[in-house]
Amino acid sequence: MSRSESLSFSTGKEDHSIDLTSNKYAAWAVEVAERTASLVARWQGVGFTHGVLNTDNMSILGLTIDYGPFGFLDAFDPSYTPNTTDLPGRRYCFANQPDIGLWNVAQFAATIQAAELLDEKEANYAMERYGTKFMDDYQAIMTRKLGLAKYNKELISKLLNNMAVDKVDYTNFFRLLSNIKADPSIPESELLVPLKAVLLDMGRERREAWIGWVRTYIQELVDTGTSDEQRKASMNSVNPKYVLRNYLCQSAIDAAEQGDFGEVRRLLKVMERPYDEQPAMQKYARLPPAWAYRPGVCMLSCSS
């Protein structure tokens, strides 16, 4: 995920703007680039890993399509790929998705350029717009996920590093984060209580690292001036409680193969409202069981 903090392409701070009204194909290329950037930023926000980001598996409309061995992050791992055929180089892993999105946009622009519908400057501008749009959207999403008033790169980078070190569940962590109060007087012994369900088996050093981060985070929350209730509602509207984890799919598939489609229907119903509490459906928000990490569940081949 750290790649999202310092992408390998220009983020468009330079003034390389062009007149898009003079060439409809240039305007089209920019539209496709920006839609793609927004899509990938949303993927990163909810921990979705597509798995097979070939150019033919992406839509010019900025839609998620052709996601064969997809996967939502469980334990946070920036190098996670749900595609066993991607394992040698992890080209399409979670952290690489923003750069792969750019590479695919570059191939799209090159094709239009080869047809002499774009010039080089226009093609480069489309790629520049991808970088700008991705960073704008990604920073806005992460700011909302943490309930902050403005983007704090250092705070978010340290959080993602902590999550990677301790393999923290991505979905459940951000959902629980909304329970932290903007109260600097909370005793050190109680700081991690709202996160205890996801901060598991930590030694003293890691516990201190998290306590330090939470203290800094609480101070940021104090500075926003937003009430705990308002912030919680806002954060829960962007941090899903339920995601379509692979092990949930596998359980439904196993039952369906025995002729019982009840679990398929229940799972679909839960996922229709991923941001709602749905108290009767709590089991679908649990941490994955040990068997969920075996090949064939957490990972599939692109031909599976």
Residues annotated as part of the active site: 56
- The one-letter amino acid at 138: Y
Give, to the nearest 10 degrees, the angle between helix 120-145 and helix 228-236.
130
175 in Cβ contact with 240 (< 8 Å): yes
HSE of 132 in the Cβ direction (CA atoms, 13 Å)? 15
Reduced DSSP (H G I as helix, E B as strand, rest coil) percent helix, strand, coil of the chain, to 5: 55, 5, 40
**What distance in Å separates the CA atoms of residue 44 and residue 149, rounded to the nearest whole number?**
20
- In which element (H, E) is residue 49 found? strand 48-49
Tell me the three state secondary structure of residue 299: strand
146 in Cβ contact with 156 (< 8 Å): yes
Give, to the nearest 10 degrees, the angle between helix 170-177 and helix 228-236.
150
- Smallest Cα–Cα separation from 32: which of 79, 102, 136, 89? 102
